[in-house]
Amino acid sequence: MTETKATLRRMKDLPSTHLLGTGTPMCAGCGGLGALHEIYDILGEKTVFVNAAGCMTLLSVYPFTPFRGSWLYTAMASAPAGAQGIRDALDILRESGRLAPEEDLEVVVLTGDGAAYGMGLSATSGAMERDLNFIYICYDNEGYGNTGQQYSGATPHAAKTATSKGAHGFAGYKKDLFSIWAAHRPAYVATVIFSEPLDLARKIETAKNLQGPRMIIALAPCPPGWDYDPKESVEIGKLAVKTGVWPLKEYIDGKVVHNKAPRERLPVEEYLKKQGRFAHLFTPERDEALLAQLQAKVDAYWDGIEL
């Protein structure tokens, strides 16, 4: 108990630009946490994070959070509704003169893919339809990571999860959340990954300087959920981009632009074979048919776009 109190005191005394202190109960090598570090460095403390139930709510150890600004916890499906209430309250305070413009806060929703792709999708759709002025960040670890990596709407085809343990892994396919969000015609949608920090930083700066719904999807390599050594997180993130599995792109001014198209893509299996969730594709025998199917899906995506 004494050690926990000392850790909390250290967290409280961290400089305002630092997001996390030593001892926060997060997994080593978490790609979502890596992205959040970089995002918070740009957004800073003049923010209120509306954090839906998920992995990142473990950052909070009552009565402290590592965010130097404000933080609100919500149920998994309710973060966009919470953001609406906060944004409305801030606007009312500004209009009544009780909140100076320089004291206004950026409202930021933070969810995992379980909420973004599934349980909270309708609430997010409603928020975009109302043109809510907020930033939405989804850390996408392709499963319900906080409860044991059950499959979600973001789980890729053939990945093994706690609820898809058959010989061929998950039988479904990952939703195209980028296109679903872009179909609402918000101010901005972008994909990012922590292993491409310059691309990530530029996109967060872009979102920060816009108004309206601004939507960010960060692929979040997950050592326990994807079954790999935490030290491989950055390499796996880079391979997601180099193989074309995770296109870095943005929707702005009604157009989709790809920001880093791999001119000579690596084979998809270079990404897959580093993750235990795809081990059944390689041992005890190579599943040539399924590997070819996964490669063909990525090839078809890149063949179908104009660069």
Tens digit of pLDDT for each residue in 105-136? 999 999 999 999 999 999 999 999 999 999 99
Whether the predicted pLDDT of 244 surpasses 80: yes
- Among the residue ranges 11-25, 52-66, 81-95, 275-289, the one predicted with the least confidence is 11-25
- Among the residue ranges 55-59, 99-103, 150-154, 282-286, the one predicted with the least confidence is 55-59
Mean pLDDT of 263-282: 97
Percent of the chain with pLDDT over 70: 92
What is residue 276's predicted lDDT score, i.e. its pLDDT? Answer: 98
Whether the predicted pLDDT of 5 surpasses 70: no
What is residue 26's predicted lDDT score, i.e. its pLDDT? Answer: 80
Q: How do 188-193 and 249-252 pair as beta strands?
A: antiparallel
Contact 161, 114 (CB under 8 A): no
Q: Can you tell me which residue has the tokens 């041992």?
A: 283
Percent of the chain with pLDDT over 90: 84
Beta bridge partners of 64: 61
**What b-and-e string marks burial along 201-240, b requiring 16 or more CB atoms within 10 Å of the CB?**
ebbbeebeeeeebbbbbbbbbbbbbbbbeeebbbbbbbbb
Mean pLDDT of 140-152: 95
Say which CATH topology domain 2-303 has.
Rossmann fold (3.40.50)
What is residue 71's predicted lDDT score, i.e. its pLDDT? Answer: 94
In one-letter notation, the amino acid at residue 56 is M
